[in-house]
Amino acid sequence: MVSGSPMIEVSRLTKVYGTQPVLRDVSLSVPAGAVLTLLGPNGSGKTTLLRLLATLARPTAGSGRIGGHHLVDGRDAVRRLVGLVGHGSHLYDDLSAIENLAFAAALVRLPADRVTLMAALASVGAEGQATVRVRELSSGMRRRVALARALLRRPQVLLLDEPFAGLDHDGAKRLEATLHAFKAAGGTTVFVTHSLGRGLALADRVAILARGRLAVDEPRGTLTPEGLHRLYLAAVEGEA
């Protein structure tokens, strides 16, 4: 990839379910190695945008590219670049953590030897629970295993939907460390959150969705928490 060209670039992305537009004319770009924080009230289209980027849904109109690959025509290439941690953990409750990773590795054609999988679990601090069934794990530990699953493919882009929800202090610290390490290795991150403070702390760029439209898309720059709060309220109320 040419340096400086955006890792993620979408233009006039629109998604309509039935006759209900969920996302309208969203254009944005994220440079490689950057973190985009996506904010917005419930139902503003954040999750839909993530699903479009992850190639789990097709845009009704508009287009997008990740790593130069088209979201629809190049979706197999996009999938090799992207790791997704959505609302669901993508884990089977009746399999152990390591069995889940082995299954995930088989699906994406990666070696599924024990050493690799244990290393993946260790990278999120879940190696102690490798043989415990997911059903019996705490919700924080499940999130760690889900993250390990998404990182298994060594993605260049991470898409995270509310990754901090339900994490305790220790878990949140660990996740932050993992995200920093991912960024330091050149990874690009889009993460959806309700927490303005957390979002601002990690962001290189902040975007706010309101009723399916992109209301704010700014570099973090000198944005203060108070400033972001004002922007958020203006974006949400401006639409109401």
Partner 1 sequence: MATGGTFTREAWAVFRKDLIVERRSKEGANALAFFAVLLLFLFYFALGPDRDRIRAALPGLFWLAFLLAGLLGLGRSFALERENDCLDALVLASGDKGAVYLGKVAGTTVLMLAMEVAFIVGAGLFYNLDLWGAIPRLLAVAAVGTVGFAAVGTLFAAMTAQLRAREVLLPVLLLPLVVPVLLAAVRLTEAALASEPWASSPWWRLLLGFDVVFLVAGLLTFEFVLEA
Partner 2 sequence: MTRSRALGTLAALLVLAGLAAGLGYAPPDAVQGNVQRIMYLHVPAILTAYAAIGVVLIASIAYLGGRNAVWDRVAAAAGELAVCFIALTLVTGSIWGKPTWGTWWTWDARLTSTALLFVIYLGYLLLRSVVDDRERAATYAAVVGIAGALDVPIIHFSVQWWRTLHQPATVLRPQAPTMDGAMLAALAVNVAAFLCTFAYLASRRYRLLTLEAEAASRAWR
The distance of closest approach from Cβ of residue 44 to partner 2 in the complex, given in angstroms and rounded to an integer, is 16
74 binds partner 2 (CB under 8 A): no
Residue 133 or 198 with smaller CB distance to partner 1? 133
The distance of closest approach from Cβ of residue 105 to partner 1 in the complex, given in angstroms and rounded to an integer, is 9
132 CB-side CA count, 13 A: 13
> How far is 230 from 65, CA to CA, in rounded Å?
31
Interface positions, 128-147, toward partner 1 (CB under 8 A): 133
Residue 99 contact, options partner 2, partner 1, none, Cβ 5-8 Å cut-off depending on partner type: partner 1
CB 155 within 8 A of CB 82: yes
The distance of closest approach from Cβ of residue 49 to partner 2 in the complex, given in angstroms and rounded to an integer, is 16
Residues 6+ apart with CB under 8 A from 67: 1, 7, 77, 78, 81, 156, 157
List the one residue from 16, 110, 118, 216 that touches partner 2 (CB under 8 A). 16
CB 53 within 8 A of CB 71: yes
CB 188 within 8 A of CB 8: yes
Residue 124 or 210 with smaller CB distance to partner 1? 124
Residue 58 or 180 with smaller CB distance to partner 2? 58
| Residue 96 DSSP one-character state | B
237 binds partner 1 (CB under 8 A): no
Q: Retrieve residue 113's tokens.
A: 């030897």
Residue 58 or 230 with smaller CB distance to partner 1? 58
Interface positions, 32-71, toward partner 2 (CB under 8 A): 58, 60
Give me the phi and psi of 159, to 5 degrees please.
-115, 120
The distance of closest approach from Cβ of residue 38 to partner 2 in the complex, given in angstroms and rounded to an integer, is 22
The distance of closest approach from Cβ of residue 198 to partner 2 in the complex, given in angstroms and rounded to an integer, is 32
Helix axes 139-151, 169-184, angle to 10 degrees: 10
21 binds partner 2 (CB under 8 A): yes
CA distances from 235 to 46, 80, 160 (A): 14, 35, 22
172 binds partner 2 (CB under 8 A): no
> How far is 104 from 100, CA to CA, in rounded Å?
6
List the one residue from 2, 3, 4, 20 that touches partner 2 (CB under 8 A). 20
Q: Retrieve residue 39's tokens.
A: 């904010």
Name the site residues for partner 1 (rule: CB under 8 A). 54-56, 76, 79-80, 84, 86-95, 99, 103-104, 106-109, 133
Name the site residues for partner 2 (rule: CB under 8 A). 16-21, 24, 58, 60
